[in-house]
A and B are shown apart, each in its own frame.
Chain A
């Protein structure tokens, strides 16, 4: 059966910003549609309207010629519209299975069979009986996808589903999506990865600042043309000039071990590496192999033995993140909504989370609001966060803009060492370019970076040295010139 979904003259206005400006679009099953646009272009808003989360100010939605009344997510589910959101919507303390059956009224056993069948069919493997908080980002994403599939939807919307998946996982997902599409499910796919669009989609719609700027067939497009449509100008390609390697050591990790009490966390085993000034060390790996633990050990959220981390000739293994900031380290964690920022707080309050040495945000225990606000304004303008209202709660920033705010907050302190974990997750090509440029600039200023990333292209582009983490162990450290993405792929799979 054919499915036809029509968006007609949809407008959604927020105070100070038109998120969707009179958008009309039509989709037919049998094709996979891509929705592209810069951070804050209004993509999530549009698909949230389709899934009943946001109610538009004007406009109508038709499914097979029927005008849908989508006043709540439930209405969308009833009309067979399923959506995987950009940010996880899972109950962390419940088990995977409980999360999956939470909105289902079927028998537990029959749902379990259904889930098993889905996992088998599409090659997903997630342990159903462990709490969600112990899953890696990639696995959480899978749970979200399974949750949609249980309801055998007519329309499946995915808002950046691959931001956290590895290349391998992504291509598996694509096979599944193609299968869904052949089975008659209409697929709308939001991403910032243009390569994926070329690989997966049949048609592409591009949005810019709330407006629909083009609809075209993929076969008439290429990566450059899409990027230009999104940003409205030509993107320069950036390349790192490989600097002469300095031999001035900044940080040295010696025999670092971490054994977790939590059986679902990854133990770190015998980690040894060092980073020189002006160098970028990339750490590749499939998500869930100890990256998050390594990040926490380096940031001081997990304390280790004093002598295991030597920074600038000081032993700092037992210091807290706050104390490490005093030594000019900065940290940008992976999870922006749960860890790096507090969505319910205002932008300037989130800026104050990085209370670095010379900030003067808090004098004698008192808040210095003017100082924080002044500093926030600088971050917003330096890092192109698309708002000028620092009193805005940060939950109202689009995903990419929040990430820019966080990266900006960490970089503006000009740290000696930046440790970042998936710093461009969910960013548009323009923003990625900008962050990458900034990271390169840091290296040029003789400052160092430890870049933990699941994006191999990013690693190859930015790193001077690369190592791969697998099951909590680091591979030997390689010069990035001698590494190819194939070689990394093999190491990430666990081979030697």
Chain B
């Protein structure tokens, strides 16, 4: 066991964790932040993507211990004062989701893209979302939503 201190969605969290606790289960099981989903649990699907110190990563493949001291943003941390983030708005407006399982990871990954590239082309959006798998939408509306969000952010 060890103590980790993290800033999660703007709040400081200090908790005891096992050395092998994954960031994904730390968020879901210890903090009840179940918006971060676990799909494949083997680094392939991107349902578990969160931001650590401003960059997206797959939380199923990081240890709570190894990001000790970092700032984490999850899907729950995107809305401000009950108002959806422009990326969430765009996904809603353009039907960028059906079952919604992939959506938190898709949105977190797409937000990271727009931090790095304000006006991505369709190809750049598709390349960036390489690590996010959606079994429902066929991706067209996801790409459209990211483009729409780029005009609002």
Q: Is B one of A's binding partners? A: no
Residues of A participating in the B interface, judged by any CB pair closer than 8 Å:
none
Residue numbers of B with Cβ under 8 A of A are: none
